[in-house]
Amino acid sequence: MSSWIWAARLDDLTEDRVNMVTVGSRTLALYLIDSKVHATSGHCPHEGQCLDSGFVEQGTVECALHYAVFDIGTGALISGPTTGSLPVYPVRVDGDDVFVCVVP
């Protein structure tokens, strides 16, 4: 069963940056890229490094610890020391409210 949970105000998100939020019991990263919001896990799957200090560029996020690079839209690994992908979550924007769909 999945549920949409309020995550942030759209006005609080900074373009092309990692915006960390807590949704339920999860730490997620929200990204505002070309006026579209994306959501991924807030931690790199390699060693659990928080992505809050990650680098966002051209639709990718790079983990600051070991430089793994992931596609923000799909979570696919582009390069780096891990073989895992970055979990992604569906996002819905309603006015200025951002909701993320999570599975318990």
- pTM, two decimals, is 0.94
Hunting for tokens 């940056």 — which residue is that? 17
pLDDT of residue 28: 98
CA-to-CA dists, residue 43 to 1, 16, 23, 99, angstroms: 23, 17, 14, 19
Looking at residue 39, its pLDDT comes to 98
- Average predicted confidence (pLDDT) for the chain: 94
Q: Give the pLDDT of residue 83.
A: 84
Structure confidence at residue 2 (pLDDT): 63
The answer to whether residue 22 scores a pLDDT higher than 80 is: yes
Q: What is the pLDDT of residues 51-94, one digit of tens each?
A: 999 999 999 999 999 999 999 999 999 999 988 999 999 999 99
Using alpha carbons, list the distances in angstroms from residue 84 to 11, 24, 74, 102.
Answer: 32, 24, 12, 19
Res 104 pLDDT > 70: no
